[in-house]
Amino acid sequence: MKEQSGIGQMISDLKALDTKNMYLKDFFWTWDKTDDEIHAVFKVADILRAMREHNISSKVFDSGLGISVFRDNSTRTRFSFASACNLLGLAVQDLDEKKSQIAHGETVRETANMVSFMADVIGIRDDMYIGKGHAYQKTVADAVEEGYRDGVLEQRPTIVNLQCDVDHPTQCMADMMSVINYFGGEKNLKGKKVAMTWAYSPSYGKPLSVPQGVIGLFTRFGMDVVLAHPEGYDVMPECEQVALDNAKKYGGSFTKVNTMEEAFKDADIVYPKSWASFAVMQERTKIVETGDQKALADLEQRCLANNAKFKNWTCSEELMKTTKNGKALYLHCLPADITGVSCKEGEVDASVFNRYLTPLYKQASYKPYVIAAMIMLQRFKDPAKTLEALVKRNQQRVVL
């Protein structure tokens, strides 16, 4: 059974990848990582899924905590992190800042150490304010690194970025795994056109991390990535630069266009999604710091009014017909604002969304494995050897 599963071959493939610099490090942004490291995440995710499908336990931790910090509401990311931790044997302990003494004036450095005495991983979602999310994650990482070095912590918990203001690596890598599988392998991606486009939603302030993460990651696969958004909805210039550099290095392209129509034309993959503009998010961050509620409400009204000018930016059946053979793969990180379902006018026609339901759900299904793979690569010195030990142990996930 084990040989038929291809697990042995996948572990051999993993051995060929250089992942030693991931050990006891953190996962913030995909563009921090080498190609070997990105591929290792995909490979370990595939191995863990295959093991699960063959009822082989991947419990590498007999005890240990996975700490989650959600500074924004979350369903799928919360459950993905919980699933990943559980798959590896870690118990999830949520750091709910409302139930903590953090309000007493405790520093981030102190809290990070205090919760980490038996923590193997810390998953953080902090995506609300430009210039804040990554900074917070980095502060936590530095604190536990220091705590480990000073002998306060017996192990170095590693950080998994569950979404920050810059990147959303667990989402975008799950997206990419679904794309690779959909098109029958990475080798088939070269030259494929990807339309990462803004879409209208009756809400404001959605994070920029998905479009930024997508253009930063998809350009590494030789694809032609097109970014489209209305005027004023720019993403962070640093992320566009990453995409440009990748295009040059990996032989694809990164271009910006001004209409959804142009982006969708002959696209193989479309990813229409709402986000706030970088400029608005910067303004909002400053207002939040002053605590001026009226200014915040004014900004929201202004933004919603501005959004409303672009209601025609929607993934309609008509637009889908203009994609490659009228059959582009539709991606979304979910939940989507579906016209006539979750809102009056939104990001996508209900009939389009419903046609892609199964691929969309499968797209999401990669996330727990991506997170688990990051944990394994960051916490184990020789992950291939550990995986081999698990296969050899051959413990059942479910007693049959």
Which parts of 346-385 interact with its own copies (CB under 8 A)? 358, 361-362, 364-365, 367-368, 379-381, 385
Is the separation of the CB atoms in 84 and 371 below 8 Å?
Answer: yes
Q: Which span (6-14, 144-152, 211-219, 244-252) binds its own copies, by CB under 8 A?
A: 144-152
Nearer to its own copies, 39 or 59 (CB): 59
At 246, is the secondary structure helix, strand, or coil? helix
Among 152, 295, 296, 304, which residue sits at the site for its own copies (rule: CB under 8 A)? 152
Q: Kind and range of the H or E element at 303? A: helix 293-308
Q: Does 269 bind its own copies (CB under 8 A)?
A: no
Place of tokens 């030990």: 389
Q: How far is CA 235 from CA 178, 256, 340, 348, in A?
A: 24, 11, 28, 21
In the complex, least distance from residue 243 CB atom to its own copies, rounded to whole angstroms = 27
Q: Kind and range of the H or E element at 196? A: strand 193-198
Is the separation of the CB atoms in 92 and 65 below 8 Å?
Answer: yes
In the complex, least distance from residue 64 CB atom to its own copies, rounded to whole angstroms = 7
Among 256, 334, 345, 355, which residue sits at the site for its own copies (rule: CB under 8 A)? 334
Is the separation of the CB atoms in 204 and 300 below 8 Å?
Answer: yes
Q: Does 386 bind its own copies (CB under 8 A)?
A: yes
Residue 309 has what DSSP assignment? T
Q: Mask: binding to its own copies, 70-109, rule CB under 8 A, as x and -?
A: x--xxxx-xxx-xx--xx-x-xxx-x---xxxxxxxxx--
Nearer to its own copies, 117 or 238 (CB): 117
In the complex, least distance from residue 240 CB atom to its own copies, rounded to whole angstroms = 28
In the complex, least distance from residue 144 CB atom to its own copies, rounded to whole angstroms = 11
At 66, is the secondary structure helix, strand, or coil? strand
Nearer to its own copies, 34 or 394 (CB): 394
Among 133, 147, 213, 216, which residue sits at the site for its own copies (rule: CB under 8 A)? 147
**If we measure between CA atoms, which residue out of 135, 283, 273, 254 comes closest to residue 207?**
273
Is the separation of the CB atoms in 173 and 217 below 8 Å?
Answer: yes
Q: Kind and range of the H or E element at 238? A: helix 237-250
Nearer to its own copies, 270 or 364 (CB): 364
Of residues 24 through 63, those in contact with its own copies by CB under 8 A are 49, 52-53, 57-63
- CA gap 259, 243 in Å, rounded: 19
In the complex, least distance from residue 107 CB atom to its own copies, rounded to whole angstroms = 7
Nearer to its own copies, 60 or 223 (CB): 60
Task: Kindly tell me the burial class for residue 389, based on how many C-beta atoms sit within 10 Å of its own C-beta (0-12, 13-18, 19 or more).
Answer: exposed
Nearer to its own copies, 82 or 189 (CB): 82
Nearer to its own copies, 244 or 343 (CB): 343
Cis peptide before 335 (omega within 30 of 0): yes
In the complex, least distance from residue 138 CB atom to its own copies, rounded to whole angstroms = 19
CA pseudo-torsion sign 208, 211, 214, 216: negative
Q: Which residues contact 98 (CB under 8 A, 6 or more apart)?
A: none
In the complex, least distance from residue 113 CB atom to its own copies, rounded to whole angstroms = 5
Q: Which span (18-26, 147-155, 212-220, 288-296) binds its own copies, by CB under 8 A?
A: 147-155
Nearer to its own copies, 4 or 75 (CB): 75
Q: Mask: binding to its own copies, 275-314, rule CB under 8 A, as x and -?
A: ----------------------------------------
In the complex, least distance from residue 299 CB atom to its own copies, rounded to whole angstroms = 20
Nearer to its own copies, 225 or 387 (CB): 387
Is the separation of the CB atoms in 66 and 119 below 8 Å?
Answer: yes
Give the CA diameter of the chain: 64
Beta bridge partners of 67: 93, 122
Q: Which span (128-136, 282-290, 316-324, 336-344) binds its own copies, by CB under 8 A?
A: 336-344
Q: Which residues contact 281 (CB under 8 A, 6 or more apart)?
A: 129, 130, 165, 205, 208
